[in-house]
Structure formats: structure tokens, C-alpha cells
Structure 1
Amino acid sequence: MSNNSSSVGNALVLLRLLQERDVLRVSDAAGELGVARSTAHRLLASLKEHGFAVQDGDRSYSLDPRQRHGHRALTPESLVPIARPHLEWLVGKTNESVHLIVPEGQMVRAIDTVEGTQMLRVGSRVGVLVPAHTAAAGLLFLSGMPVERLAAMYSDGPPRDSGAKTIEEFHASLQLHRPYAVSLGRAERGVNALAMLVTDQNNNRVAAVSLVAPAFRMPPQGMPEVAALVKECVQRIHANILDRA
């Protein structure tokens, strides 16, 4: 087989792996193909260059959303204008800041913020990467992963500050028993957050809406009331996504 044919074949194998997995590390790709890490890295970089893959914050790769869902797929750029009016609605109801957040491997990133109206408020966090296991939105993304995918993402073991000694313990700690997740000062000291998922027309988890406020204004006992408003916000966003599909 020629080198070109071999490269094409390996690229197709990687594309299939990207379709099957949430994340793909260079070392895992090299092992699957039986090639050097440098070769696997070159192939993944080529898939990224041609719009088939994206590189996450922890340098792992995942399938470009446009390839997973077709040309009408939601990207962060297309989701922001859809969600923005509803984020503004939520701020109007609560006077607190709201983030629109997407996953990036072991991290999450805010792609839009509407700041609250209070003098003391949480400011914009657009572009800031935060460890997923510390953020309310990140807990939502991680909670839906099978333990095998979680193990691939955290190949060096659970985060040290998670309290878990094994991936299995980490996986068990992430399971949620309600439709929202909270973070009480973990991602940012003195700031509490409540987040709910935004899904697309295929019920894929594409983002999360996170309401954030100083802890003294959003204590745990007030979370159910906040959750009802966040739920209405994500339902409004989902309805607009369906209109767009």
C-alpha cells in the first residue's frame, strides 16, 4: 500500500473514532493506528484543518459539531444570537448575571455573558476556561458521560481536588438526581451558580445556561425558585433551536 493510501486509511479510522467518542487523545489515536504519536498528531491536525475535528482545551480532539449534525448544526457562533434574547430575559427576571457555557474537554468555557443589574455582580467570563468538575455547567456535561468516556478524558486519573481516588468513584460522584447542577463557591470563591442544559433538535447537549450570583444573594435554600426561571430560559432557547432546524 502506498504512503498516501495508508494515510487516507488512517485518517478514515480516526474520523470513525471521533464519531464514536466524545474525546480522542493523540496517544490513544496512535495506539489505535499502531503509529508514532507524531504521525497521529499530524493526521488529527489535518482533520482539524479541513473542518472534521476541533481541538479542545486539554489538547484532545473531538468531532467538529458540523460533521456530527450536518450543515445546520449549532456552533458556538450560531448559538449565541439564538440564546442571547433569552439570557437577557433571565437577567430581567433575576437581576443576576447569566453565562452561556460550552464544554471543551476537561474544561468549560463561557461563550456569552449578560451581566446582572446589581451594583455588586459577577462580570463577564467570556473566553475564560474553568475546570469542568468545579463548575455547575461542567457537572452537567460530565454527568452524562459513560465511565469509559470519562476514563478517556481523564486518562491521568480523577482531578486531585475531586476527592475521588478512581475514575469509577469520580463517575459515581457526578451523577445528578435533578435536572440542574449547582456549584457553591467551587469555580469561584464567594460565587454560587445554578446551571441547566441546552439541547438541540437531536437532544444532544450543546451548551448550558448558568445563573451566577454572590453566595449571600443565592443561598442553597433559594435554588429551587431560581431553577424554575433557568428552566424556562432553556426551554425558550430550545424552542428557537427547533424553529431553526
Structure 2
Amino acid sequence: MALHPDTKPAKEGLDIPSGDIQVVARVVQLLRLLGEAGTIDLVSAAQELAVGKSTAHRYLASMENHGLLQRRNRNQYEFGPLLAELGTLALSRLGVVNLARPIMERVSLQVRHTVVLTIWNGHCPVVAQVHEDGSRTAHVSVKIGSRLRAGTAQDCVFRAFQSESFHRPYRSGPADPVQEQVSGLDEVRRTGVAIRSSASEGVRAVAVPIRDASGMVVAALAVVGVTVLVPEEDDSDVVMVLREGAQAINQALKASVESSAD
């Protein structure tokens, strides 16, 4: 079979359908390599594609520009924010939102506060589902689709457990514009719960991670209420109920995967 002068043979083991666009196939090659290795650099990209370093650099630079990759350091790339966003959206469509809804209602009835499910969109936490409490005169309303700022309880959950998720939402260092706003992440990792208050808004949120069948953090479940009504202790009844709710969602996700495999 004759090859176009600019076309190199496909790497052994990679099935590229006839008529497939070469650039797309190469991008897929690099993403598969990244999925296996966790990071990718110029040398490994060039070897994977069987091309020169200048060609590999163009692929990496273009993928970074479009959000498919982001730099971990000067020489290494990792999954970018677009992939994190698309992966999170796919997760939500695979059932985490639907599975969480009845459990959120149960948690809300027990603690008498608004319960919020948050996912990561590649840049920040986004509210995916809300069960609003109406049993108290004073309660908190949260809109679905709201983007949460850095330093919120949900944000701290994603930040604290980023090494156990499919994304790297933050790069620490002096250039990190939000680094000084977030503290206490070691405590969040130790206790498994983030508790944060806003004095200006009079609101306190308590958040815990939600994990999929493989143990990866895919969402955060939070109780949000008026500061004076939400305990700030990490062993309160609210925290206990919230943890039970998160565990129930974890089990529901695991059961959903197992039933799909049957």
C-alpha cells in the first residue's frame, strides 16, 4: 500500500481506521499514552508518534492551547482542563447526579439544611444538584450551575484530594493566584471533611468527597446553612449524616457499575 509522503506507518497495536484523519489519530495516541503514564514529555511524544521533536512539539503545544493538556512543570504535560470538564460532564451523565438526588433529599430531611452536589468543570467547582431545605425560616438557597469561588468547602475538598481524582485542578507555587486563600488542606485530608464559613454572607458549608467504584473523587457533597445553625466541629451530627450520605452515593455508583458489567 502506498503511503503519502507525509504519512508515517501507524504504531504497531494502534488500529487507525481507513480514512481516519491522521492528526486526530495522533492526538488519540498521545492521550492514550498520557492515560497510561500520567504525564508526557517531548521525547516520549516523539517516540510514540515516530516523528521528530519539532513535529511532536507542535502537537503538544496545540493540545495545550486547546485545553487538552496543561504543563505540570517545564518539561512535562498532564491532562488539561478541557478533558477534566468533559470527563466530569460524562460522569454526571453516567448517573452520579441521578443516583445522588434521593440520598440528598434524605440527608436534607435529617439535618434540616440545604444539600448541594458539586462537580469539577475543569476550572472550579460547579453546583450540579441541590435539595433546598424549607423547614426553617432562615435557610440558604443555591442555584444549579453556580460556580463556587476558591476557598469554599467544596473547593477545598477537590483541592485536598486532587491526587485521588482524574484532574489536577491547581498548580501550587508562587504563581498560584489563589494559593494564599486556601489553608488547612492537611486537616481536610486527615478528617475527610472541609468546613468553611463566610462571615460576610453568614453561611457555613460542610463538604465531603464522593468517590466512584475505583475510589477516585468525582464530586463533593455539602450541607450549606446559616452559620449559627450549622456546627463547625468535624464530629458533629451534621458531619456524621453527611458522611453517611456520601457513602450511600459511593455504594450506589459502585452498584451501577457492577450492574452495567453484568
Determine the structure 1 residue equivalent to 2:83.
Answer: 61
Secondary structure of the structure 2 residue equivalent to 1:236: helix
Task: Answer yes or no: is 1:178 the counterpart of 2:195.
Answer: no
Cα offset, 1:79, TM superposition: 1.3
Deviations 1:65-85 (A, max 9, x none): 49xxxxxx9721321111111
Cα separation, partners in 2 of 1:12 and 1:62, compared to 1, 3 Å: farther
Deviations 1:177-231 (A, max 9, x none): 2011111118x72110011111111111111110000111114248622110101
Determine the structure 2 residue equivalent to 1:113.
Answer: 130
Task: Answer yes or no: is 1:40 the counterpart of 2:63.
Answer: yes
Q: Distance in 2 between matches of 1:154 and 1:226?
A: 31
Task: Answer yes or no: is 1:76 the counterpart of 2:92.
Answer: yes
Q: Number of paired residues?
A: 211
Q: Distance in 1 between matches of 2:129 and 2:85?
A: 22
1:23-38, aligned counterparts within 5 Å? Answer: 33-35=56-58
Determine the structure 2 residue equivalent to 1:102.
Answer: 119
Larger Rg: 2
Do 2:85 and 2:120's aligned partners in 1 also have CA atoms closer than 8 Å?
A: no
1:125-140, aligned counterparts within 5 Å? Answer: 125-131=143-149, 133-140=150-157
TM-score relative to the length of structure 1: 0.70
Do 1:10 and 1:33's aligned partners in 2 also have CA atoms closer than 8 Å?
A: no
Q: Distance in 2 between matches of 1:7 and 1:239?
A: 37
Gaps of 5+ in 2: 1-5, 9-20, 46-53, 69-78, 258-262
Cα offset, 1:107, TM superposition: 0.6
Question: Counterpart of 2:203 in structure 1: which amino acid?
Answer: V
Cα offset, 1:19, TM superposition: 6.1
Cα offset, 1:159, TM superposition: 2.6
TM-score relative to the length of structure 2: 0.66
Gaps of 5+ in 1: 46-53, 67-72, 165-169
Determine the structure 1 residue equivalent to 2:160.
Answer: 143
Moved beyond 6 Å, runs of 4+: 41-45
Determine the structure 2 residue equivalent to 1:2.
Answer: 7
Secondary structure of the structure 2 residue equivalent to 1:61: helix
Task: Answer yes or no: is 1:218 the counterpart of 2:241.
Answer: no
Q: Distance in 2 between matches of 1:136 and 1:114?
A: 17
Cα separation, partners in 2 of 1:155 and 1:190, compared to 1, 3 Å: same
1:124 paired residue among 142, 160, 178: 142
Question: Counterpart of 1:40 in structure 2: which amino acid?
Answer: M
Q: Is the deviation greater in 189-198 or in 137-146?
A: 137-146
Q: Distance in 2 between matches of 1:42 and 1:119?
A: 49
Question: Counterpart of 1:174 in structure 2: which amino acid?
Answer: L
Question: Counterpart of 1:35 in structure 2: which amino acid?
Answer: R
Do 2:191 and 2:234's aligned partners in 1 also have CA atoms closer than 8 Å?
A: no
Do 1:97 and 1:211's aligned partners in 2 also have CA atoms closer than 8 Å?
A: yes
Q: Distance in 2 between matches of 1:161 and 1:65?
A: 25
Aligned-residue sequence identity (percent) comes to 16
